[in-house]
């Protein structure tokens, strides 16, 4: 008999499980799953909404009185913002840098000829590449959350078992994505994923309770590797590639 | 205010008309406060979130797509302001929190009757608040949107700008932490049936 895990039962509790009716039937028949579900439901039933302080009809006016003298300048619509001369100059400088880096790369690193089948996957229009980019982009976002949760943890000794479980889930996926990126010749993506994997493994195999000193050490290590920065930049880059029209991929 | 009138007010507000924005503030303040309070669990923080949300909304009105729903857009801004507020106060809250949950659990799990039931109920509420305060800002936000606001995982991911998987995991992690903290207090009665999705 297939049993349902905690996550399935939580989704079932909220009416969001994919197989809602199936789980309902199973929970009715299986003592173990019934017990698990009962403890989840029992705990969540304790979490009742706190009484929300009343606000009268005049509240909106009170809020307005508080903010009316602080109203900031409105941001211009994005297309107007991008037409400002300083942005154009900045974009021009950035484009010049990218072109310079591209040309320098061509001169300093002659590329061996690659099979035509491999080159075809470089096109973002390729559905396989797009799927891979979307999956890696989602993976990077999840990884960033784990790292941020750890880095923003409060004072005192903290229990990071949940973060370790989450990081362990990410390591498996990370390995697959890194290998896929290498196969596709995407060395930049593979390199960031390699860094990420090593740091995730450090978290998984590190202590479950972090003292402030451990946490500081972790912060220093992540800062030194500029990992969060790399993850964010790559995440943005992949998002751009996902939405970009078919064109040859940038080489950084 | 009907739909066409609301659209006209919004259009004027987008052109920097303060009076039009005032109408929007008056119309949405109470719902913004309710969401802010549910997410932060603190009246003063909720007031700060209300204020910051409207200021942020005003600044970003130029980016608002007129086809979208202003209420939904403002809801998203408020939820994210609340997350920022919770992040900012996290360290200070961690230090302020006193008693351990175990001590409290021992006292409320004993047999009690009569007027003491009220005290027990208040004690449970206090422990729920403590357990909620132990969640990371993102976990608390995702859990609040799911548990109190009745939002689906899909809606939570859109509101907080997360992937669906990250939103789902934030809810799972929140429930795991709440279970660890509150299970000793949970009633041993028969399991309630699964909750249907609440309409927000």
Give the separation between CA A201 and CA B11, rounded to whole angstroms: 52
A236 touches chain B (CB under 8 A): no
Contact residues, chain B, for A64 at CB < 8 Å: 22, 25-26, 29
Contact residues, chain B, for A62 at CB < 8 Å: 29
Report the candidate in B138, B132, B134, B32 with the shortest Cα–Cα distance to residue B84: B138
pLDDT of residue B90: 72
Cα A73 to its chain centre, rounded Å, is: 32
Contact residues, chain B, for A59 at CB < 8 Å: 29-30, 33
Contact residues, chain A, for B169 at CB < 8 Å: 142, 166
Cα B163 to its chain centre, rounded Å, is: 19
The domain limits of chain A are 6-46, 75-110, 113-243
Average pLDDT over residues B36-47: 95
- Whether residues B85 and B126 share a domain: the answer is no
Residue B193 lies in a domain: no
Contact residues, chain B, for A73 at CB < 8 Å: 59
In chain A, the residue whose alpha carbon lies closest to the alpha carbon of B13 is: A74
- Whether residues B56 and B116 share a domain: the answer is no
Full domain range(s) for residue B131:
98-186
- Whether residues B46 and B76 share a domain: the answer is yes
Q: CA geometry: angle at A144 spanning B173 and B131, to 5°? A: 25
Q: Is residue A249 predicted with pLDDT exceeding 90?
A: no
CB contact under 8 A, A145 and B55: no
Yes or no: say if B22 and A68 are a contact pair by the CB < 8 Å rule: yes
Q: Tokens standing for A94? A: 């950035």
Q: Is residue B28 predicted with pLDDT exceeding 70?
A: yes
The proportion of chain B whose per-residue pLDDT surpasses 70, expressed as a percent, equals: 77
CATH number of the domain that B181 lies in? 1.10.10.10
pLDDT of residue A71: 86
Give the separation between CA A198 and CA A159, rounded to whole angstroms: 21
- Whether residues B174 and B137 share a domain: the answer is yes
- Whether residues B78 and B102 share a domain: the answer is no
Report the candidate in A14, A130, A120, B89 with the shortest Cα–Cα distance to residue A6: A14
Yes or no: say if A142 and B163 are a contact pair by the CB < 8 Å rule: yes
pTM of the model: 0.57
Residue B192 lies in a domain: no
Last residue of a domain, one of B59, B89, B119: B89
Last residue of a domain, one of B89, B123, B158: B89
In chain A, the residue whose alpha carbon lies closest to the alpha carbon of B187 is: A42
Burial A197-234 (b: 16+ CB within 10 A, else e): bebbeebbebeeebeeeebeebeeebeeeebbebbeeb
Q: What is the ipTM of this complex?
A: 0.79
Residue B200 lies in a domain: no
Across A101-105, B48-52, B77-81, B100-104, least confident range: B100-104
Q: How confident is the model at residue B189 (pLDDT cuts 50, 70, 90)?
A: very low
Interface test with B, best of A6, A41, A155, A215 (most B CBs within 10 A): A41
- Whether residues B104 and B69 share a domain: the answer is no
Across A184-193, B78-87, B140-149, B170-179, least confident range: A184-193
Give the separation between CA B130 and CA B108, rounded to whole angstroms: 15
The proportion of chain A whose per-residue pLDDT surpasses 70, expressed as a percent, equals: 78
CATH number of the domain that B26 lies in? 1.10.1740.10
Q: Which residues 6+ apart lie within 8 Å of A212 measured at CB?
A: A155, A156, A157
User: Which DSSP helix (H) or strand (E) runs through A158?
Assistant: strand A158-159
Across A8-12, A95-99, A112-116, A172-176, least confident range: A112-116
Q: Nearest-CA distance from A111 to chain B in Å? A: 36
Q: CA geometry: angle at B90 spanning B143 and B159, to 5°? A: 35
Residue B120 lies in a domain: yes
Cβ neighbours around A136 below 10 Å, total: 26
The predicted-structure confidence for A88-147, as pLDDT tens digits, reads as follows 676 777 777 777 777 776 666 555 545 444 444 444 456 677 778 888 888 888 888 888
pLDDT higher at B92 or B87 = B87
Yes or no: say if B160 and B79 are a contact pair by the CB < 8 Å rule: yes
A126 touches chain B (CB under 8 A): no
A248 touches chain B (CB under 8 A): no
Residue B152 lies in a domain: yes
CB contact under 8 A, B94 and A156: yes
pLDDT of residue B6: 81
Interface subset of A 86-105, CB within 8 angstroms of B: none
Total structural domains within chain B: 2
């Amino acid at each position: 008999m297939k049993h349902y895990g905690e996550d399935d039962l939580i989704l079932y509790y909220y009416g969001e499980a994919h197989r809602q009716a199936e789980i309902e039937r199973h929970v009715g028949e299986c003592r173990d799953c019934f017990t698990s579900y009962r403890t989840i439901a029992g705990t969540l039933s304790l979490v009742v909404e706190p009484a929300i302080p009343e606000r009268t009809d005049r509240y909106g006016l009170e809020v307005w009185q508080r903010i009316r003298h602080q109203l900031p300048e409105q941001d211009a619509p994005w297309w107007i913002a991008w037409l400002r001369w300083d942005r154009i100059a900045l974009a021009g400088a950035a484009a010049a840098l990218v072109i310079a880096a591209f040309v320098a790369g061509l001169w300093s690193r002659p590329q061996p000829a690659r099979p035509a089948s491999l080159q075809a996957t470089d096109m973002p229009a390729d559905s396989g590449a797009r799927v891979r980019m979307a999956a890696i982009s989602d993976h990077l976002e999840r990884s960033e959350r784990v790292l941020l949760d750890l880095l923003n943890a409060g004072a005192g000794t903290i229990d990071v078992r949940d973060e370790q479980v989450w990081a362990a889930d990410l390591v498996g996926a990370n390995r697959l994505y890194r290998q896929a990126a290498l196969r596709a010749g995407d060395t930049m993506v593979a390199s960031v994923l390699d860094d990420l994997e090593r740091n995730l493994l450090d978290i998984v195999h590190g202590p479950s309770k972090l003292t402030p000193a451990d946490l500081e050490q972790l912060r220093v290590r992540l800062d030194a590797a500029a990992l969060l920065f790399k993850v964010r930049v790559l995440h943005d880059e992949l998002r751009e590639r996902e939405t970009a029209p078919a064109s040859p991929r940038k080489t950084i | 205010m009907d739909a066409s009138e609301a659209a006209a007010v919004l259009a004027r507000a987008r052109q920097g008309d303060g009076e039009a924005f005032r109408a929007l503030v008056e119309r949405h303040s109470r719902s913004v406060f309710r969401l802010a309070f549910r997410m932060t669990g603190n009246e003063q923080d909720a007031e700060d979130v209300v204020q910051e949300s409207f200021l942020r909304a005003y600044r970003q009105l130029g980016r608002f797509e007129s086809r979208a729903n202003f209420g939904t857009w403002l809801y998203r801004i408020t939820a994210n302001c609340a997350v920022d507020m919770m992040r900012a106060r996290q360290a200070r809250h961690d230090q302020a929190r006193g008693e351990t949950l175990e001590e409290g659990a021992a006292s409320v799990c004993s047999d009690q009757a009569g007027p003491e039931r009220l005290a027990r109920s208040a004690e449970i509420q206090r422990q729920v608040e403590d357990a909620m305060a132990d969640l990371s800002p993102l976990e608390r936000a995702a859990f609040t949107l799911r548990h109190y606001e009745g939002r689906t995982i899909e809606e939570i991911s859109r509101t907080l700008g997360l992937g669906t998987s990250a939103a789902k995991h934030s809810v799972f992690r929140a429930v795991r932490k709440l279970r660890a903290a509150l299970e000793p207090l949970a009633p041993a009665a028969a399991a309630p049936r699964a909750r249907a999705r609440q309409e927000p």
